[in-house]
Structure 1
Amino acid sequence: MIRPLAALAGALAVLLTGCAGVSGEVTQPPDPGSSQSAPATESTTLTVLTHDSFSLPEETLAAFEKASGYKVSYVQPGDGGTLVNQLILTKDAPLGDVVFGIDNTFAGRAIDAGVLASYTSPALPDGAADLATDGKGFLTPIDYGDVCLNADLGWFQAKGLAVPQTLDDLVKPEYADLLVVPNPASSTPGLAFLIATVAAKGDGYLDYWKQLKANGLKVVPGWTEAYTVEFSGSAGKGPRPLVLSYASSPASELGEDGQPRTANLPQTCLRQVEYAGVLAGAQNEVGARKFVDWLLSPQVQAQIPPNMWMYPADPAIALPEDWAKFGTAVDQPWYVPAETIAAQRDSWIRDWTTTVIG
Structure 2
Amino acid sequence: MRRRTFVGAVGGSAIAGVAGCLTRDDDNAGGGDGTLRIATYETMVNGTNPAGTWLKEAFEAEHSDAELEWIVPNDGLNQYITREQQNADYDVDIYFGLNVDDLVRIDDNLETGSLLRELDIDRLDNAGRIRDELDMGDPHGRALTYDTGYICLVYDETIVSEPETLDDLTAPAYEDELLAQNAQQSDPGRAFLLWTIDANSEDGYIDYWRKLETNGARILADWSESYSGAYMEGERSIVVSYSTDQVYANEYDYDMSRHQVAFPNDQGYANPEGMGIFEGATDVDLAYDFLDFALSSEAQAEIAQRNVQFPAVAEEHVDLDEEFDRYAHRPPETVAFSYDELQGNLGGWVESWGREFAGQ
Shorter-normalised TM-score: what interval? 0.7 to 0.9
User: Larger radius of gyration, structure 1 or 2?
Assistant: 1
Change (3 A) 1:131 1:328: closer
The answer to which of 324-333 and 242-251 deviates more is 324-333
The answer to whether structure 1 residue 88 and structure 2 residue 77 are counterparts is: no
Change (3 A) 1:67 1:111: farther
d(CA) in 1 for partners of 2:241 and 2:91? 29
Partner of 1:250: 246
Change (3 A) 1:180 1:95: farther
d(CA) in 1 for partners of 2:329 and 2:67? 40
d(CA) in 2 for partners of 1:131 and 1:225? 29
SS of the residue 2:129 aligns to: coil
Change (3 A) 1:52 1:165: farther
Per-residue deviation, residues 78-131 of structure 1 (Å, max 9, x unmatched): 7xxx52323312223336221111112332223553221122341313353542
Change (3 A) 1:279 1:57: closer
Partner of 2:188: 189
Name structure 1 gaps, 5 residues minimum: 1-27, 31-37
SS of the residue 1:162 aligns to: coil
Superposed displacement of residue 345, structure 1:
0.4
Amino acid across the alignment from 1:83: G
Q: Is the 8 A contact 1:40 1:286 kept in 2?
A: no
Superposed displacement of residue 247, structure 1:
1.3
d(CA) in 2 for partners of 1:62 and 1:74? 12
Q: How does 1:115-126 map to 2 (within 5 A)?
A: 115-121=115-121, 122=124, 123-126=126-129
Partner of 2:309: 310
d(CA) in 1 for partners of 2:37 and 2:144? 18
Q: 1:264 aligns with which of 256, 261, 283?
A: 261
Q: How does 1:104-253 map to 2 (within 5 A)?
A: 104-111=100-107, 113=110, 114-121=114-121, 122=124, 123-132=126-135, 133-153=137-157, 157=158, 159=159, 161-202=160-201, 203-232=203-232, 237-253=233-249
Amino acid across the alignment from 2:213: K
Partner of 1:280: 279
Change (3 A) 1:181 1:84: farther
Q: 1:49 aligns with which of 39, 44, 53?
A: 39
> Cα RMSD between the aligned structures?
2.7
The answer to which of 287-296 and 322-331 deviates more is 322-331
Following TM superposition, the consecutive aligned residue runs of length 4 or more in structure 1 with deviations greater than 4 angstroms are: 255-261
Name structure 2 gaps, 5 residues minimum: 1-24, 45-49
Per-residue deviation, residues 107-157 of structure 1 (Å, max 9, x unmatched): 22235532211223413133535422224321011112211121133xxx1
Q: Is the 8 A contact 1:46 1:73 kept in 2?
A: yes
Q: Is the 8 A contact 2:177 2:237 kept in 1?
A: yes
Q: Is the 8 A contact 1:250 1:261 kept in 2?
A: no
Change (3 A) 1:60 1:277: closer
Q: Is the 8 A contact 1:94 1:282 kept in 2?
A: no
Amino acid across the alignment from 2:205: Y
Partner of 1:326: 327
The answer to which of 243-252 and 323-332 deviates more is 323-332
Per-residue deviation, residues 288-345 of structure 1 (Å, max 9, x unmatched): 2222222111111011221112111111213332243333331212343331112210
Superposed displacement of residue 350, structure 1:
0.7
SS of the residue 1:148 aligns to: strand
Partner of 2:356: 355
SS of the residue 2:344 aligns to: helix
Partner of 2:347: 346
d(CA) in 1 for partners of 2:284 and 2:236? 44
d(CA) in 1 for partners of 2:257 and 2:300? 24
SS of the residue 2:345 aligns to: helix
SS of the residue 1:333 aligns to: strand
**May I ask how many residue pairs the two structures share in their alignment?**
312
d(CA) in 2 for partners of 1:144 and 1:290? 21
Q: Is the 8 A contact 1:98 1:276 kept in 2?
A: yes
Q: Is the 8 A contact 1:111 1:138 kept in 2?
A: no
Give the fraction of aligned pairs with identical amino acids, expressed as a percent. 26
d(CA) in 2 for partners of 1:266 and 1:146? 10
